């Protein structure tokens, strides 16, 4: 295997296009298409009494107005519940357009199609919907009090309830282990909502060809294959008549893995109905109130531990606010509850969660997907244990780490893929050693003392996590070498800016031995690859990366076989270097892959000079054998799939030094250090970029972002003026160090890296602010105003 490109910081090949305005995003597609706007509910909870469109129908340029009553059979049903689970006893999903009751502000009620979006919005303003307001349920407390119900037929507002328990080696349950422990603590934690908030919102474009009854849909999605199946099912079309393409997608971060969104079925339906291209481009205000949020949870923690801080028993009760509907099931709280133990060996662990309905935007995975909450809980616990025992915070973590020789390590839980949670590899003590070196952990007390002399308050914090990445069930790759020597790679999962065009090309170039310039990569286009799952759970490199490597292996094997024949050599003596098949040790004897591709496809017709070499009178094929051997196929191409037995487990540890202003309570991150282990690195530059972006989103979640709902269920900060995503000016320089513990589970030895950066940030910042202030931090995010309140509460005793 040529490994020159694998592991190299190859520059992102997509960037010149994406950074110079030559990207092709959803809103760039379909010039002249009709455009869609929606009348969305202004109420958090209300019954629809009447919809009056009479003032709107005469608007010049209006094409169509649709309500739920217009929808055909399958479209009039609730949208699918994508991931059923036995514990989700009361799963509920929305109708594409509200039927009788709206359950959050922003729920679509009326669809308007017009000549352009301006007119569509004008029309929306003229449609009158008569609502009978119902009592809204806002926040976890109201949901659990259940004085009002989000869904009449869901008692207590509880959609799901799940308990998992891992007993201690001596057979004790977690609660017994806590009772028996020499030390015990009990406390509550709270995490606020945030959201994926990609630069590009959602969007759908559809073109119906009435002649051949085929539908082409573009969607700004993280899964084009599954959107395709959903559209075919909902619109009752044969699957081969539907193609779905994810064009350039301006970020996803989880929200675009949910599907089909109402718009993803309504827009194609309208295109079929109207016989005209139709497009809907979500605007920012819509995105805030009609896509998805994440994070909001409360935790109640009980922990028992020994004098070294070893956790003997941990008992966590979680309430997860999943909003008005559960289209993505209970994946988020499952991940929270199973990833909570992180890199630690807990004596016994019991976790119980209730997932509750509220009259707010639905909650589905956002980068990190339940892990930031899990890590906040586990790491706050570690800090409290250390504080209680007067031990260094790193010492308590060291005392609990799974050791390198203990892998594979079975946590005894069932993970989000329905499979046992077994860590494949890792070296947590070494990660912590490197982190302490990188941030200067042991020297910090002196630094802090020195700062204090100048009237400054600084603090240090850390957080450790393990992230299950690369979940199944599978991905595939297709690799074709054409007679011009170009290599065409395709995989079904989609890209949202991660750098897939680069890393997949690196893999193919390395595996095939061709210059990377000859390799092109297509993702997320069902015309090219029909079988795929999607881009989420830090899985693209693991899943498609390995599938492409396997597919390249097939191509390589075939190329060597054909070349061996032509060169009259043994395939074992051949290698592919710089796009040529060479006899090892005899560089003069070489056959370009382009020629091999020609020879692989016996031709009757010479459409060009090269092709002539593969025609019947060229003398290149043996008259004693059929031109295509039995079991063989024409062409130099390969397809393969990678389907792992279970997830790979990446890990990392972050530390931050923060400064808090004694007077203004402003919080500034002075340093941010990351040690990261995602197995073998395909492209270290791209991995670092993923970490930087993740940390930036984590800083947003720790210090800036929240969804502020009032008691009526109105989102008060549904704009970038008041929803405070951090700017570049708020993001510290991120210092990184890598550890490479290869995964034994896949040929490339890689693990996922996409979500890593965001996961521990809230825990790290809370730990650092607590250290600076000497005030307990048990809810995140924290703003200067809240720190000011905490200081006052602390000083008033």
Partner 1 sequence: MKPPPFDYHAPRSVGEALEILTEAGDEGKVLAGGQSLIPMLNMRLTHPRHVVDVNGLTELATVEAGPGGVLVGALARHAQVERSEPVAAVQPLLRRALGLVAHPVIRNRGTVVGSLVHADPAAELPAVLALLGGSVRLARPGSTRDVAADVFFTGPLESALRPGELAVSALFPALGPRSGTAFHEVARRHGDYAISGAAALVVLDEDLRVVTARVACVSAGPVPVVVDVTGVCGGDRWEAADWRGAAAAVWDETEPEGDIHASADYRRHLLGVLAERALTEAAQEAGNR
Note the residues at the interface with partner 1 (CB under 8 A): 117-118, 121-122, 125, 283-285, 663-666, 704, 708, 716-717, 719, 722, 724, 726-727, 729-730, 783-785, 788-789, 792
Nearer to partner 1, 633 or 661 (CB): 661
Smallest CA-to-CA distance from 493 within 210, 159, 105, 754 is with: 754
Nearer to partner 1, 191 or 594 (CB): 191
- Taking the complex as a whole, the smallest distance from the CB of residue 119 to partner 1 amounts, in Å, to 9
Least Cβ distance, residue 261 to partner 1 (angstroms): 18
Q: How far is the CB of 544 from partner 1 (least distance, A)?
A: 35
Cβ atoms of residues 220 and 291 within 8 Å: no
Q: The tokens 């190329």 sit on which residue?
A: 559
Q: How far is the CB of 466 from partner 1 (least distance, A)?
A: 32
- Shortest spacing between CB 48 and partner 1, in angstroms: 23
Tokens 């729920």 belong to which residue?
107
Which residues, in sequence order, are CB contacts of 438 under 8 Å at separation 6+? 655, 673, 675, 735, 737
Given a contact cutoff of 8 angstroms between Cβ atoms, the answer to whether 64 and 274 are in contact is yes
Q: Taking the CB of residue 199, how many other CB atoms lie within 10 A of it? A: 12
Q: Which residues touch 442 (CB under 8 Å, ≥6 apart)?
A: 436
Question: Please, which residues bridge with residue 299 across strands?
Answer: 189, 318
Please, which residue, 122 or 637, has the CB nearer to partner 1? Answer: 122
Q: Which residues, listed in sequence order, are joined to residue 522 by a DSSP beta bridge?
A: 490
Q: What is the dihedral of CA 167, 170, 173, 175, to 10 degrees?
A: -130
Neighbours of 42 (CB within 10 A): 16
Nearest CB to partner 1, comparing residues 37 and 178 = 37
Smallest separation (angstroms) from partner 1 to the CB of 243: 30
By C-beta, is 210 or 721 nearer to partner 1? 721
Question: First and final CA of the chain: distance in angstroms?
Answer: 67
Whichever of 145 and 668 has its CB closer to partner 1, that residue is 668
Nearer to partner 1, 601 or 717 (CB): 717
- The minimum distance between CB 662 and partner 1, in angstroms, equals 10
- Classified as helix, coil or strand, 351 is strand
Are the C-beta atoms of 549 and 479 separated by less than 8 Å?
no
Pick 45 or 117: Cβ nearer partner 1: 117
3-state secondary structure of 176: helix
Q: How far is the CB of 716 from partner 1 (least distance, A)?
A: 6
Half-sphere exposure of 483 (CA within 13 A, CB side): 17
Closest distance of CB 789 from partner 1, Å? 7
Measure Cα distances from 127 to 46, 105, 220, 329, 345 in Å: 17, 17, 28, 34, 59
Closer residue to partner 1 (CB): 173 or 784: 784
Q: Which is nearer to partner 1, 286 or 770 (CB)?
A: 286
Q: What angle do CA 262, 265, 269 make, to 5 degrees?
A: 130
- State the nearest-atom distance from the C-beta of 790 to partner 1, in Å: 11
Distance of CA 595 to CAs 456, 566, 579, Å? 70, 10, 10
């Amino acid at each position: 295997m040529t490994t020159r490109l694998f592991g190299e910081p190859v520059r992102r090949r997509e960037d010149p296009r994406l950074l110079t305005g030559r990207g092709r995003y959803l809103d760039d597609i379909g010039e002249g298409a009709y455009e869609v706007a929606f009348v969305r509910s202004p109420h958090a909870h209300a019954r629809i009494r009447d919809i009056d469109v009479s003032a709107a129908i005469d608007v010049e340029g209006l094409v169509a107005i649709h309500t739920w009553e217009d929808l055909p059979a399958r479209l009039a049903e609730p949208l699918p519940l994508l991931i059923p689970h036995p514990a989700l006893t009361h799963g509920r999903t929305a109708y594409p357009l509200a039927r009788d009751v709206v359950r959050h502000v922003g729920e679509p009620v009326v669809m308007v199609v017009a000549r352009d979006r301006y007119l569509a919005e004008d029309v929306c303003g003229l449609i009158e919907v008569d609502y009978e307001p119902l009592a809204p349920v806002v926040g976890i407390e109201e949901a659990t009090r259940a004085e009002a119900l989000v869904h009449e037929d869901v008692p207590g507002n509880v959609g799901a309830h799940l308990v998992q328990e891992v007993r201690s080696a001596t057979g004790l349950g977690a609660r017994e282990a806590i009772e028996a422990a020499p030390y015990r603590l009990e406390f509550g934690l709270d995490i606020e909502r945030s959201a994926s908030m990609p630069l590009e919102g959602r969007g759908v474009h559809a073109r119906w060809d009435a002649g051949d009854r085929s539908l082409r849909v573009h969607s700004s999605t993280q899964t084009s294959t599954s959107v395709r199946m959903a559209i075919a099912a909902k619109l009752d079309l044969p699957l081969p008549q539907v193609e779905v393409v994810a064009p350039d997608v301006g970020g996803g971060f989880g929200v675009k893995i949910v599907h089909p969104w109402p718009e993803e079925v309504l827009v194609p339906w309208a295109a079929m109905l109207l016989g005209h291209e139709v497009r809907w481009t979500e605007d920012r205000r819509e995105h805030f109130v009609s896509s998805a949020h994440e994070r909001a949870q409360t935790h109640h923690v009980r922990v028992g531990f020994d004098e070294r801080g070893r956790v003997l028993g941990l008992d966590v009760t979680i309430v997860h606010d999943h909003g008005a509907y559960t289209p993505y099931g209970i994946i988020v709280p499952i991940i929270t509850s199973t990833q909570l133990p992180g890199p630690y060996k807990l004596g016994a662990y019991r976790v119980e969660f209730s997932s509750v309905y509220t009259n707010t935007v639905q909650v589905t995975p956002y980068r990190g997907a339940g892990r930031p909450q899990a890590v906040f809980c586990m790491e706050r616990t570690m800090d409290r244990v250390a504080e209680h025992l007067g031990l260094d915070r790193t010492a308590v973590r060291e005392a609990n780490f799974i050791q390198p020789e203990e892998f594979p390590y079975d946590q005894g839980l069932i993970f989000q893929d329905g499979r046992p949670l077994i860590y494949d590899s890792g070296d947590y003590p070494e990660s912590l050693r490197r982190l302490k070196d990188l941030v200067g952990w042991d020297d910090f007390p002196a630094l802090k003392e020195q700062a204090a002399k100048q009237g400054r308050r600084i603090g240090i914090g850390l957080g450790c996590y393990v992230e299950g990445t690369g979940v199944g069930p599978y991905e595939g790759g297709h690799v074709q070498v054409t007679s011009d020597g170009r290599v065409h790679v395709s995989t079904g999962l989609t890209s949202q800016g991660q750098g897939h065009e680069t890393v997949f090309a690196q893999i193919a170039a390395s595996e095939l031995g061709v210059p990377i310039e000859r390799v092109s990569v297509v993702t997320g286009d069902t015309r090219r690859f029909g079988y795929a799952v999607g881009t989420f759970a830090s899985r693209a490199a693991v899943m498609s990366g390995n599938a492409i490597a396997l597919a390249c292996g097939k191509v390589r094997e075939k190329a060597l076989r054909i070349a061996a024949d032509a060169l009259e050599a043994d395939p074992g003596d051949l290698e592919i270097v710089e796009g040529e098949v060479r006899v090892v040790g005899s560089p003069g004897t070489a056959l370009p892959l382009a020629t091999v591709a020609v020879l692989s496809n016996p031709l009757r017709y010479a459409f060009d000079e090269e092709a002539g070499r593969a025609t019947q009178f060229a003398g290149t094929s043996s008259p004693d054998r059929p031109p295509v051997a039995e079991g063989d196929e024409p062409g130099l191409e390969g397809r393969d799939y990678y389907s792992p037995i279970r997830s790979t487990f990446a890990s990392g540890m972050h530390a931050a030094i923060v400064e808090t202003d004694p007077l203004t309570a402003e919080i500034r991150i002075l340093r941010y250090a990351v040690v990261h282990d995602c197995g073998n690195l395909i492209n270290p530059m791209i991995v670092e970029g993923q970490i930087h972006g993740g940390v930036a989103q984590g800083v947003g979640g720790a210090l800036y972002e929240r969804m502020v709902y009032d008691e009526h269920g109105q989102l008060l900060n549904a704009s970038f003026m008041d929803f405070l995503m951090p700017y570049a000016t708020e993001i510290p320089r991120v210092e990184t160090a890598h550890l490479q513990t290869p995964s034994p589970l896949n040929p490339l030895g890689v693990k996922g890296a996409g979500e890593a950066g965001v996961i521990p940030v809230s825990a790290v910042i809370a730990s650092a602010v607590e250290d600076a202030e000497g005030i307990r931090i048990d809810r995140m995010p924290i703003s200067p105003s809240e720190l000011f309140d905490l200081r006052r509460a602390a000083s008033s005793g």
